[in-house]
Amino acid sequence: MAMMTGEQYVESMRAMKLKVYMFGKKIENPVDDPILRPSLNSVKATYDLAQNPEYEDLMTATSIFTGEKINRFLHIHQSPEDLVKKVKMQRLCGQQTAACFQRCVGMDAFNAVYSTSYEIDKKYGTSYFENFKKFAAYCQEKDFTVDGAMTDPKGDRGLAPHAQPDPDMYLRVVEKREDGIVVRGAKAHQTGAINSQEILIMPTISMGPEDKDYAVAFAVPTDTEGITMIIGRQSCDTRKLEGSELDVGNSEFGGVEALVIFDDVFVPNDRIFLNGEYEFAGMLVERFAGYHRQSYGGCKVGVGDVLIGASALAAEYNGVAKASHIKDKLIEMIHLNETLYCCGIACSAEGSETESGNYMIDLLLANVCKQNVTRFPYEIARLAEDIAGGIMVTAPSEADLRGEETGKWVEKYMVGAAGVSVENRIRILRLIENLCLGTAAVGYRTESLHGAGSPQAQRIMISRQGNLPMKKELAKKIAKVKE
C-alpha cells in the first residue's frame, strides 16, 4: 500500500471503533469533535508533509523490510544521518503546526523495542524480535500512526509495582493462555492515543524478579475490546466550542492526551515483545527515554520558532520593535531555541549502531538535550509574555470585536502601531497566549518539563553516563598526580 494522504488518514481514523470519554460523556465521533479535531489535524499534517516533494528527504525513508518508501515516523534508524533527519523532520512539523504532532512517541518506541527485543531473543531464544519486525512491517505497509505508551499511573511512587496496595497501578499480565496473554492496568498522559491506529506498550521503570508480571511489551489496535480512553483537560480547551477562530489562537492544530484503560485486554502471542524477562525492562526504558529526549531537540524547537516569530510580530504591532531591550530579548529567545536544536543534532550525529543493526543516539547528549528542554522553553515563554504585554490575557473576545455595541470601542482602544489592524494584533496575541498558557502550552511548556521523564530522571542518566572516573584520570595525568 502506498503512503496515505492526509485525507485518507482521517478516513482511516473515522473507521476506528474507539471508546473515548470526555467531560463524563462518551464521544461517538472523535474525528469531528470540535475539541478533539485540531489534534487529529496535527497528525494529518505529518501525512500531508510526507506527500510534499519539497520535504520528501526529511519526511520519508526506505523501509528496511520491503525497500519501499515509507513515512519516516515508521522508520528503523539505519545511520547517524537518519537520526539527524529525524530531528530536522520534527522541527519542521513543529514549525508547521505550532503544536504536538503526536507521532514521536511511536517512532521512538519502534526503535527502542526493535533493539531490545533482539537482545532478549539472543539471551533466551524467544521470538520477540521476529514478532516486532512483523508488526513494524505491517504498520509501514498500512502507513499507520502508532502511539508509544510507557507511563503508568504508578500509585505510591515509593513502592515497586508488585508492592502497590492496588496491583493495577502498573500495567500487568493477569492471565497467560496458550494463544496469548490478558493484561490489566492503565497508561497515563497518552499523547495522540485517540489519533492512532495501534498502541505499543512498554514498561515504565526498571524491575526486579517480583515484578516480572509487569515486565511486558506488546502492541494492539487502539479499538481493541477492553480499551477505554478518557481525555485529559487542557487550559482553554472549551474555547474550541465557541466557534471563534480568533479566540482559540491556533484554531487548526492542537494536541490531546488521554488516560488509557486496559480492562482485561487480550494480546495474541505474535504481538508480544517482552513477557516476564524483567531484567530487560530497564534497558527498554533507557533506550526509549534516550530516543524521546532526543526528539525534544526537534519538536520543541519548531514550536519555539513559531513563538519567537509571534513575539517579534507582537513587538512590531505594539510599536516597540526598535527598542534595544526588545531586540535583546528576541536574541535571547533565538539563542536558547538554537541551543536546544544543537543538542538534538549533536546526540544524533554521535549515534552508534546497536547489536540489532539500528542506530542509537548518544545517551549522555540526549539527556543533556532534554535537561535543557526542561528549562529553556519556560524562559522563552516568559520572554514572549514580557514582549506581548498583559493585553495577551485580557484582550476582549472576538464577539466583542464584532459586536454591534462594543466593536467600535474595541477597534478604538485596542489599536497598536499605525497600519496594523486590531484584528491582526489580537490574532498574534491569542497565538502567544495559546502557546504559553493555553492548549498548546500542554505540548510546549509543561510537556517540556515532564515529557520523556522529569528533570531528575535526566540528571540520574547524566550522572551515569558522565564518566567521572575517566575525567579524574585526565586531571591526574595533567597534574602529574602519583598515588
- What are the pLDDT digits (tens) for 17-27? 999 999 999 99
Residue 36 lies in a domain: no
The angle that helices 422-436 and 376-388 make with each other, rounded to 10 degrees, is 160
Residue 170 lies in a domain: no
Position 473 pLDDT exceeds 80: yes
The H or E element that residue 218 is part of is strand 216-221
Alpha carbon 464 to its chain's center: 25
Residue environment code for 4-16, b if the CB has 16+ CB neighbours within 10 A, otherwise e: bebeebbebbeeb
CATH assignment at residue 394: 1.20.140.10
Q: How many CB atoms lie within 10 A of CB 456?
A: 10
Residue 238 lies in a domain: no
Domain that holds residue 290: 283-470
Q: Provide the phi-psi class of 97: left if phi over 0, else alpha when psi is between -120 and 50, else beta.
A: alpha
Q: What is the mean pLDDT of residues 74-81?
A: 98
Question: What's the pLDDT score for residue 2?
Answer: 86
Residue 413 lies in a domain: yes
Question: What's the pLDDT score for residue 443?
Answer: 85
Number of domains in the chain: 1
Residue positions annotated with a catalytic role: 100, 104, 191, 257, 292, 296, 299, 447
- Please tell me whether residue 389 adopts helix, strand or coil conformation: coil
Residue 86 lies in a domain: no
**Residues 401-415: pLDDT tens digits?**
999 999 999 999 999
Question: How sure is the predictor about 440, in pLDDT bands with cuts at 50, 70 and 90?
Answer: confident
Residue 109 lies in a domain: no
Q: Rounded to an integer, what distance in angstroms lies between the CA atom of residue 178 and that of residue 232?
A: 36
Residue 460 lies in a domain: yes
Residue 307 lies in a domain: yes
- What is the pTM assigned to this prediction? 0.96
